[in-house]
């Protein structure tokens, strides 16, 4: 059965001088979610933006806010992003010793919890928390900055996670982030992904609607 594919443009690739307009533009162009990459300069080598930017953009769109926290330690920041308007909050399995507790905290804040896996992290890491997550995000680049090349080595991991999700019988989104383009999107979808994060593949093009449709077309 073909799953509907959601496209989540990454704000990190937008024009930061016109963020409100950029969000409105991808909304009008047919994006499903807005992906917000939060980087702390510690867990990853860059600093992006914080809850104030998320809050400022919340009133600009009804798209779900898919907040990806590249922060360590992460727990202290969860309430701020929940209050700022996040709908989904995903954190890295590698970011702290208490993944189970952190996911419980997201759920207690009334938000949808997700877990993120770096390229060197095996799929098996999510098995003990599969009953707690509504999203699994596979990084197909090493996180920290945009514009990197897609790591084809992650495709078997995506396929393995799809099998785990289906065996669980749970409704868990399987998201891919990193180097997603019109060329790599069909590979991700074929492996089992149903949410694609795209930065420069959307914001780096003159026609956002055409870019989003092209990425989604990989599901055909």
**10 carries a ligand binding annotation:** yes
Catalytic residue among 32, 40, 66, 177: 177
**144 carries a ligand binding annotation:** yes
Beta strands in the chain (DSSP E): 6-9, 34-39, 65-70, 88-92, 112-117, 135-139, 173-177, 195-198
- Does 87 qualify as catalytic in the annotation? no
pLDDT score, position 3: 79
**110 carries a ligand binding annotation:** no
Q: How far apart are CA 105 and CA 90, in angstroms?
A: 12
Q: Each residue of 76-103: pLDDT tens digit?
A: 999 999 999 999 999 999 999 999 999 9
**92 carries a ligand binding annotation:** no
Domain 6-219 belongs to what topology? TIM Barrel (3.20.20)
Catalytic residue among 32, 37, 66, 194: 37
- Does 171 qualify as catalytic in the annotation? no
Domain ranges of the chain: 6-219
Q: Output the pTM of the full model.
A: 0.95
Q: Each residue of 137-170: pLDDT tens digit?
A: 999 999 876 667 899 999 999 999 999 999 999 9
Joined together, the tokens standing for residue 142 give 């090493």
């Amino acid at each position: 059965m073909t799953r509907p594919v959601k496209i989540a443009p990454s704000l990190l690739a937008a024009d930061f001088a016109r963020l409100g307009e950029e969000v409105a533009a991808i909304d009008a162009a047919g994006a499903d979610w807005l992906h917000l990459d939060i980087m702390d300069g510690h867990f990853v080598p860059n600093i992006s933006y914080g809850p104030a930017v998320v809050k400022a953009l919340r009133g600009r769109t009804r798209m779900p806010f898919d907040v990806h926290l590249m922060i360590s330690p992460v727990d202290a920041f969860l309430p701020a992003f929940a209050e700022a308007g996040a709908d989904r909050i995903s954190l890295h399995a590698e970011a702290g010793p208490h993944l189970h507790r952190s996911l419980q905290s997201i759920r207690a804040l009334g938000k949808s919890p997700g877990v993120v896996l770096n390229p060197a992290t095996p799929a098996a890491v999510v098995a003990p928390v599969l009953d707690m997550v509504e999203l699994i995000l596979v990084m197909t680049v090493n996180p920290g900055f945009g514009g990197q090349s897609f790591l084809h080595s992650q495709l078997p991991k995506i396929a393995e996670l799809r099998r785990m999700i289906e065996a669980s019988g749970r409704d868990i989104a399987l998201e891919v982030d990193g180097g997603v383009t019109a060329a790599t999107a069909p590979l991700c979808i074929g492996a089992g992904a149903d949410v694609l994060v795209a930065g420069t593949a959307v914001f780096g093009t003159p026609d956002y609607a055409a870019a989003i449709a092209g990425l989604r077309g990989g599901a055909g």
